[in-house]
Amino acid sequence: MKLGCIADDLTGATDLALMLAREGLRTTQTIGVPRADLDLSGADAVVVALKSRTISAQDAIDQSLAAAQALRKAGARNLFFKYCSTFDSTDEGNIGPVTEALLNLTSSDFTLACPAFPANGRTIYKGHLFVNGVPLHESSMKDHPLTPMRDSNLVRVLQRQTKLPVGLISYEDVEGGPDAIRAAFEREKAAGHRIVIVDALSDKHLRAIGLAAADFPLITGGSGVAMGLPAAYRRSAADASPSTERSFDAPAGRSIILAGSCSSATQRQVETAIEAGIPAFRLNPTELATRDVTAQTALDWLAGQDATGPVLIYSTATPEDVQAVQSKLGRMNAGEIVENTLAQIARTLPALGITRIIVAGGETSGAVVNALGVEALAIGPEIDPGVPWTRSLGGTDLALALKSGNFGAPDFFLKAWTMLR
Ligand code: ADP
């Protein structure tokens, strides 16, 4: 394994895994710290998805170290600590404390911190992070409920989280390419800095930074900075090329879509699927709360459907409907009722011969993946930006597409199946 990655949340982990897979590394994502006997031998890169962004710094350190140790035991040569491209954190952490702990673990004295992701509008100039051209502290991140970001100077932000001296490599050095960046790393190290924020305004910058840092025992950043790493590892290993694969081996079996997202993209996808004639069953949270409808009602309906094409079970509703339900049942309670019902349905799918599953919704995906007991995912080709086909590893053999609510084109639920072999 060339690269062992630790991500501080689930969708961030998928984002990174997809980036590495697209650039030609065989990539596996695990849900939490992998069991010691999980076979990771086929992977060039493994991404461990934690949920450590907003937990206490000590818990984040403990979980990240456990993940790092598991990755090193499985053969990881280098480590990558992945956080959000908006540097989501508090003054206490967890980016600084986890970076310190991982530097200690790898017995190294220097690393970089680069959350830039220009393709998504996140750029760093003179150490200041911009979101679509707006300084971080003026972007919507200033009002984030858990990690409000009120300072766009990342040197200052990170310095508040760590005792290690933080430096800056600005874009003049980065413009000079990998050799100039390597020289700047040496200069900063000699100046006593242990972590450097690195400017990046373009993919060209990210690729140069990746090449310059590829041999570091520890790299930290967003998924953007991982863009240049596969090329560096390929050059030394000469064994892979960027993936252009558009089809994916999937287990034989029936297909289903479980939609628990109410985001506008999912609403359109549900409408498009129904218009195209996909049999659909709507879960209404009010009926679920009174138990007039249960998971079993949906499963009985499912048993009567044609087994040859995909079917759809959805709770997707308009903002007005969601609001009406929430005022009756409470926001969290309504969400939980739907998630639990979809999880119960998911649990019985393998026994019904349903092995190809699309899930719409971030929280919904977490609930379904847990219910199915999925421990790890091999990352396959991208269906639409940010959403790959994946195949479960370890337990029941499944093809899964876990779609964040607002991702994907209107015909996502129709076209995704055509990629499966
Ligand atoms: P997204 O990725 O679009 O944010 P999530 O699955 O993360 O989707 O979140 C959607 C939340 O809304 C879940 O907790 C889900 O259970 C809940 N939910 C789904 N359908 C309804 C509905 N009709 N009324 C109220 N809440 C719903």
Tens digits of residue pLDDT in 296-315:
999 999 999 998 899 999 99
Verify cis geometry, omega within 30 degrees of 0, for the bond prior to 94.
Answer: yes
Average pLDDT of every residue of the chain: 93
Phi and psi angles of residue 405, each rounded to the nearest 5 degrees, phi first: -45, -50
* Mutation probe of ligand 1 site: the residue of 284, 315, 329 with most atoms within 8 A of C-beta: 315
Q: How far apart are CA 370 and CA 345, in angstroms?
A: 12
Strand partners, 207: none
pLDDT at 239 exceeding the cut of 60? no
Order of strands, sheet of 122-125, starting from the edge strand that comes earlier in the sequence: 122-125, 128-131, 134-135
- From the CA of 366, give the closest atom in ligand 1: 6
243 lines ligand 1 (CB under 6 A): no
Beta strands 111-114 and 134-135 are unpaired
Q: What is the pTM of this model?
A: 0.85
Ligand 1 binding pocket includes 27 (Cβ within 6 Å): no
Give dist(CA 231, CA 83) in Å, integer.
21
Tokens of 85: 């491209």
> Under 8 Å CB-to-CB from 348, ≥6 apart: which residues?
295, 299
State which ligand 1 atom lies nearest to the alpha carbon of 404: 2
Domains parsed from the chain with CATH numbers: 3-239 (3.40.50.10840), 254-419 (3.40.980.20)
Beta strand segments in 35-137, E: 45-49, 78-82, 111-114, 122-125, 128-131, 134-135
Pairing outcome for strands 280-282 and 376-384: unpaired
**pLDDT, tens digit, 9 for 90 and up, residues 140-174:** 888 887 888 999 999 999 999 999 999 999 999 99
- Tokens for 169, please give them: 């490599």
276-287 burial string, b = 16+ CB within 10 Å, else e? eebbbbbbebee
* Per-residue model confidence as pLDDT tens digits over 9-60: 888 898 899 999 988 899 999 999 999 888 888 899 999 999 898 889 999 9
- Alpha helix stretches (DSSP H) within 215-303: 229-237, 264-275, 285-289, 295-303
Q: Is the CB of 30 under 6 A from ligand 1?
A: no
DSSP letters along 191-208, please? TT-SEEEE-B-SHHHHHH
Give the model's pLDDT for residue 242: 60
